[in-house]
Structure 1
Amino acid sequence: MSVSLPKAPPIPAELEVLFTRMRFPYARKAAPDVLATARAQRWDPAEVVRVLLAEEVVGRDNATRRSRRKSAGMPNGKTFGSWKSELSSIPQATQNALRTLEWVSRRENCVISGPSGTGKSHFMEALCHQAIDADLRVSWFTLETLAVTIGRAHVDGSIARTIAKICRSDIIVIDDIGLLPVGHETAEAFYRLVDAAYERRSLAVTSNIHPSGFDTIMPKTMATATVDRLMHHAHMVETSGESHRLAEALAGKGVVPLT
């Protein structure tokens, strides 16, 4: 039978007011236990201050990461916790190099192309979660959602502001290119973003076709200009093999059996 520990006494009302006034919610929450421990173990006053400030910093950092994860718009919540690196056709050395995120600090791009179901989006989303844990900002789009976002800006003439806002992110992802043909407005939105981010921010692209074939799904002139800027400072990764999703489905692992 577990024995519940006595609840720490509340902090003085004046201290509660000060924590609230200074907007230190995480230090305020931790204060009763910290002060009780400090009294019992006769901590130096400086240690009490250090621990309370550390609680506030950790709490704020975690809240910031939660907010960034939510605002990034990533689709599935897939992280490296569910990634099976040994099953990927991406060389292990390449996986390790990209996971350092050094390419982001150098404002370089990452382009992953290959057949559907070969782990492109999973690996990219896992990279983005790791980037957020490293206090970086991420924005995630498909070509369609990017076109809608920039299309809205056409209405009030705020295209430049909208693209500048997107480019505040350290990594800007365009996912699943090549599934459908691209209209002129969508191609223009893609070009505008690639041009604005060029040598300023890192673009991460996943595609079912190699960038050299983008002129088969979008106007040739615009495709040429887009790919020229996208690939100038890009790490090119190609996946291969059969679809992992199809393999799981054929093996009966796609669903939980009904009972």
Structure 2
Amino acid sequence: MLIHPTLDQLHALGLHGMAKGFKALSATPEADALGHAEWLGLILDHEVTTRQQKRCETRAKTAKLRHPASVEDVDFRAARGLDRALFLKLATCDWIRERRNLLITGPCGVGKSWLACALGHRACREDLSVLYHRVPRLFAALDLARSDGRYSRLLRSLARAKLLILDDWGPEALTGEQQRDLLEIVEDRYDAGSLLITSQVPVENWYAMIGSVPTLADAILDRVVHNAYRINLTGESLRKTRHTPADA
């Protein structure tokens, strides 16, 4: 078998996973017993796996998630009221495909951001586009974009993601411009993509946190809350009992 010309052709075609699989199989004595169809199937599996891994890495890089979290590392033993069955259901990412929302609330340090990032990483592995933003910095970015002509483009980028994570909302009331920004984000995503919002403020207090315009608060919350799953965490900060910065 002429191995090197075949490897060169596979690399030239951009089939790097198949080339890696071809090389690995060629070095395995047991491969001599395989038929042509079995060889092809195995090296195709290598190509598919390689491409899936690269897509996941690209999506994770684009998402800019705050924590390198994983759903496999979630600690369900911590006394914070995390529903294991619900979280594992959310980890399938079906709620994102169904364009539903998720609201994670609880006091500081109980793992809201970490859990959000864990679900964000899982979504990347499921080949779903994700964007992560801390709310204060997002509003600052939108304010800057409004002044330099990038506002519409930034809103479009937020709308394109299958999952938009808005981390650490509140407790300050929104300004008039921030209210309109949030309405634009929510309106663009309504029945088109999923929102994951984390906050120290209970959902029942979000109406007051949005601001003084009742019609805006009604419009925003109606689109966010009505189809949302909720995780309400309780308890003391996990940082008090752990030495790592991640609050899993």
Which whole-Å deviations, capped at 9, do the CAs of 1:82-113 have from their partners, x for residues lacking one? 32112231233322332232221211101111
**Structure showing greater relative contact order (alpha-carbon pairs closer than 8 Å, 6 or more residues apart):** 2
Letter in 2 for 1:118: V
CA distance in 1, matches of 2:11, 2:223: 49
TM-score after normalising by structure 1: 0.82
State whether structure 2 residue 26 is matched by structure 1 residue 32. no
CA distance in 2, matches of 1:80, 1:234: 20
1:178 to partner: Cα distance: 1.3
Q: Give the structure 1 partner of residue 43 of structure 2.
A: 52
CA distance in 1, matches of 2:138, 2:194: 16
Which stretches in structure 2 are left out of the alignment for 5+ residues? none
Three-state SS of the structure 1 residue aligned to 2:99 is coil
Q: Give the structure 2 partner of residue 205 of structure 1.
A: 197
Three-state SS of the structure 2 residue aligned to 1:85 is coil
Three-state SS of the structure 1 residue aligned to 2:122 is helix
1:140 to partner: Cα distance: 0.7
Name the stretch that deviates more: 24-33 or 217-226: 217-226
Q: Give the structure 2 partner of residue 5 of structure 1.
A: none
Over the matched positions of the two proteins, sequence identity in percent amounts to 25
Which stretches in structure 1 are left out of the alignment for 5+ residues? 1-8
Three-state SS of the structure 1 residue aligned to 2:87 is helix
State whether structure 2 residue 105 is matched by structure 1 residue 113. yes
CA distance in 2, matches of 1:27, 1:151: 47
Letter in 2 for 1:45: H
Contact 1:107–1:201 (8 Å) recurs in 2 = yes
Three-state SS of the structure 1 residue aligned to 2:28 is helix
Return the match for 2:118 from 113, 116, 126: 126
TM-score after normalising by structure 2: 0.85
Correspondence 1:145-164 to 2 at 5 A: 145-155=137-147, 157-164=149-156
State whether structure 2 residue 135 is matched by structure 1 residue 143. yes
Contact 1:143–1:190 (8 Å) recurs in 2 = no
> CA separation of 1:25/1:182 partners in 2, compared to 1, >3 Å: closer, same or farther?
same
Correspondence 1:78-89 to 2 at 5 A: 78-87=69-78, 88-89=80-81
Contact 1:182–1:218 (8 Å) recurs in 2 = yes
Letter in 2 for 1:240: T
1:155 to partner: Cα distance: 4.2
Letter in 2 for 1:104: I
1:154 to partner: Cα distance: 2.4
Q: Give the structure 1 partner of residue 158 of structure 2.
A: 166
Q: Give the structure 2 partner of residue 228 of structure 1.
A: 222
> CA separation of 1:11/1:179 partners in 2, compared to 1, >3 Å: closer, same or farther?
farther
Q: Give the structure 2 partner of residue 77 of structure 1.
A: 68
CA distance in 2, matches of 1:235, 1:39: 50
Contact 2:165–2:195 (8 Å) recurs in 1 = yes
Three-state SS of the structure 1 residue aligned to 2:71 is coil
CA distance in 1, matches of 2:88, 2:189: 25
Contact 1:182–1:217 (8 Å) recurs in 2 = yes
Name the stretch that deviates more: 185-194 or 131-140: 185-194
Letter in 1 for 2:160: R
> CA separation of 1:148/1:53 partners in 2, compared to 1, >3 Å: closer, same or farther?
farther
Name the stretch that deviates more: 59-68 or 115-124: 115-124
Which whole-Å deviations, capped at 9, do the CAs of 1:176-205 have from their partners, x for residues lacking one? 111445433333322211111011111010
State whether structure 2 residue 87 is matched by structure 1 residue 95. yes
Aligned residues: 241
CA distance in 1, matches of 2:156, 2:83: 35
